[in-house]
Structure 1
C-alpha cells in the first residue's frame, strides 16, 4: 500500500510542470519627471505581466542627476536584483556603476542611452546618429533656403544626445544652414528650462531661423511651449521660423496638429521597455542576445499627424 502511494506521488510530481523561476528586473530612467520614460515603464510592466514570472521595478532620480542615478543603481546591486536596464545619464559615472553590477553577477543592459565602452551586455533603443540625421533632414526638407539654427540638448554627459547633435550637424553639413555659437544649450532634461532656453536663443539671435531640440523636453511643458511658439506663430506660419523637435508623445502630436511646430521625429520608448524585459530574461536563461537592438523611428508632419494621434 505504502509503495503504491509513493509511486502515485512520484508520478504526480513528474506530471506537474515545474514552476518558472521568478525574477526582479529593474528599469532605471535618467529622470522620472520626464514623461518619455513613462512609456518605457508601461512597456516594461505590460511585458512583465505577460511573461508572468517577471517583476518590473521602475525607479530613477526624480530629476536628471547622474550622481543620484549611480546611487540608486548601487542600492539595487546591494539588494541583488536579477537584472538592470539603464538609460545612461552620464557615461563615465554609469560605466563604473555597470562594472560594479557586473562584478556582483547582475546582468546589465542599457536602453535609450548607451555606454558602449562599459560592461553592459546589450543596448536597446534608437540609433541616435540616425535620429539626429533624421531631424536635420527634416529641417532641410522644410527649409532648403537655410539660415541660422540652434539646438537644445539634455545632459552634456549623455552619449545618445551627443550622437544626435552630431547627426544633425552631419545632415546639415554643406547646406545653407549654419549653427549659431553656443549651440547646443543644455537643459538637463528640464522641460521648463528647455522652454526658457528657446526664448533666450530667439532673443540672442533675432534672425534665428530654426530651433531643433534633440529631445522633446520643451514640449513636455506644453503650455510653456505654446506660449513661446505663439509669439512666433506668424513667422512659423510664414515659413520664416521653423521648429523640428525630437519625440512624438501625445502632447507633442497635439501641438504639431495645432500648428505650434513644423515636424517631429519620434522614438518608440514603449517597445524599449518591452524588449528590455525580453532581453534580460533571455540573458538569465543563458541565451545569446544581440549586442544592439534598434527600435526604429517615426517621422511626423502636419500631413500624417492626425493618423498618428489615432
Structure 2
C-alpha cells in the first residue's frame, strides 16, 4: 500500500513535468520563438509647419528673392518700400531684401552688392550712389545670371537691363520752370545738393542750370553746395550759404535732405514763404507739412509710390524671359497749397 502510493506520486510528478515542458515549447516540441518587444503606440510623423518652414530649410519651388538697394537711407523711399512689400505679399512668391548705405557711402553700397551677388539672389534693383563706382558690380551681377534694373539714379554705363523712375534731367528742367514761374522770371537762387556724385542729382542740377541759362537769363544761381545727405550737415551748409548770399530770393534742394534743412532754417529765422522762397524736390512728410504751414512755396514731386510695384513687375518679366523698356519715365508733378490734397489722385 505504501509502495503503491509512492509510485502514484512519482507518476503524477512525471506527467506534470512533461506537460510543463510541452507548454513551454509552444506545444510543438520545438524551441519557442522569443517574443518581440512591444514598441508601444506609434506617433505619426509631424507635418512641416507651412508658416515657419522649420522642416523645410529650402524655399518652396517658385519663390524668388529680389533686392532693392537705395542710394541713401531716407524717408523719401518709404513709399517705395511700402508699395513693394504690399505687392510682394499680394503675389505670394516674392521675398524682398531692402538695404541702403548710411549717408550715401559708396563703399558700403559696393559691399551690399558683393554680398547680394554671393547670395545669388534672383534680381536686384539699385539706385546707385555713384554710377561710375557701381557699374562694375552691376556687371558682375549680370554676368552671374542675376537680373539687374536701376531706379531713382541710373547707371547707364553698365549692363543693367533698364531704368525706371524719374528722368532726372527732365525733372531738373521742370524744376527750373517752376522756379521761374514763382520768381516771375527774375531773381537770385541758392541750391543745396545732397551727395555730389549721385547720378540722378547731378542730372537734375544740370537740367536746372541749362534751362535757366537758355530760357531765363535773369535768374542767377549764386551758389551750389553739398550737405552729403546728412540733416545736420545740410543745415550748417545752408546757413553758411545764406550768410554769404543774404540777398537771395529762393532756395532749392536737389535731394531729400534739402527741403527739411531749409524748413528748419526758416523756422529758426522766423521766415515764411513771403520772406524767402523754398522751391524744392520731393513730397516728404516735412516738405508737405512745410507747404501746409506757409513756409514752402512749391514742391516738384516724383511718383515714387508707384516704383515698388514697377520694380517687381520688371524683375518678374525678365526672370520669365521677357523684355522691359530701357527707360520707364514715371514723371514729376508740381505740388502747391492749391493741389496738396489731390495731386496723387
Q: 1:24 aligns with which of 48, 65, 70?
A: 65
Note the 1:134-173 alignment, pairs <5 A.
134-173=174-213
Cross-structure match for 2:112: 72
CA 1:212–1:219 in structure 2 vs 1: closer, same or farther (change >3 Å)?
A: closer
What is the Cα-based RMSD across aligned positions, in Å? 1.9
Q: Which residue number in structure 1 is paired with residue 93 of structure 2?
A: 53
Give TM-score, length-normalised by structure 1: 0.86
Cα offset, 1:225, TM superposition: 4.1
SS of 1:208's equivalent in the other structure is coil
Structure 1 pair 308/193, CA: closer, same or farther in 2 (3 Å)?
A: farther
Q: How far does residue 278 in structure 1 lie from its aligned partner after superposition?
A: 0.6
My pick for the range that moved more, 71-80 or 184-193, is 184-193
Give distance in 2, aligned partners of 1:30 and 1:285: 27
**Could you report, residue by residue, the CA deviation over 1:101-134 in whole angstroms, capped at 9, with x for unpaired residues?**
1111111100100011111001010011111111
Question: Aligned-pair distance for 1:275?
Answer: 0.6
Is the 8 Å Cα contact of residues 263 and 296 (structure 2) preserved in structure 1? no
Number of residue pairs the alignment of both structures matches: 284
Deviation of 1:146 after TM superposition, in Å, equals 1.8
Q: Is the 8 A contact 1:98 1:119 kept in 2?
A: yes
Q: Does 1:297 align with 2:337?
A: no
| Residue 228 (structure 1) aligns with | 265
Structure number with greater CO (CA < 8 Å, separation at least 6) is 1
156, 179, 182: which is aligned to 2:221? Answer: 179
Instruction: State the match for 2:311 in structure 1.
Output: 276
Q: Which residue of 1 aligns with 2:42?
A: none
Separation of aligned partners in 1, 2:147 and 2:197: 23
Q: Which residue of 2 aligns with 1:249?
A: 284
Instruction: State the Cα distance separating 1:63 from its structure 2 match.
Output: 2.4
Cα offsets for 1:224-253 (capped at 9, x unmatched): 644411355557315xx2210000123211
**Alpha-carbon deviation of 1:196?**
2.2
Residues 150-186 of structure 1: per-residue CA shift (max 9 Å, x gap): 2111222211111100111122124311112xx3211
CA–CA distance in structure 1, aligned partners of residues 289 and 297 of structure 2: 12
Note if contact 1:44-1:270 (Cα within 8 Å) is conserved in structure 2.
no
Q: In 2, are the aligned partners of 1:165 and 1:214 still within 8 Å (CA)? A: yes
Question: Could you say which residue in structure 1 is the equivalent of 2:162?
Answer: 122
Distance 2:192 2:97 in 1: 31
SS of equivalent to 2:250? strand
Residues 156, 219 of structure 1: CA spacing in aligned structure 2 closer, same or farther, 3 A cutoff? closer
CA 1:53–1:152 in structure 2 vs 1: closer, same or farther (change >3 Å)? Answer: same
Compared CA separation, residues 25 and 145, structure 1 to 2 (3 A): closer
1-side partners of 2:272 and 2:251: how far apart? 13
Alpha-carbon spacing, 1:234–1:79, altered in 2? closer, same or farther (3 Å): closer
* Residue 175 to residue 210, structure 1, CA distance change in 2 (3 Å): same
* Gaps in structure 2 of 5+ consecutive residues: 1-59
Structure showing greater radius of gyration is: 2
In structure 1, runs of 5+ residues without a counterpart are 1-18
Q: Which residue of 2 is the match for residue 5 of structure 1?
A: none
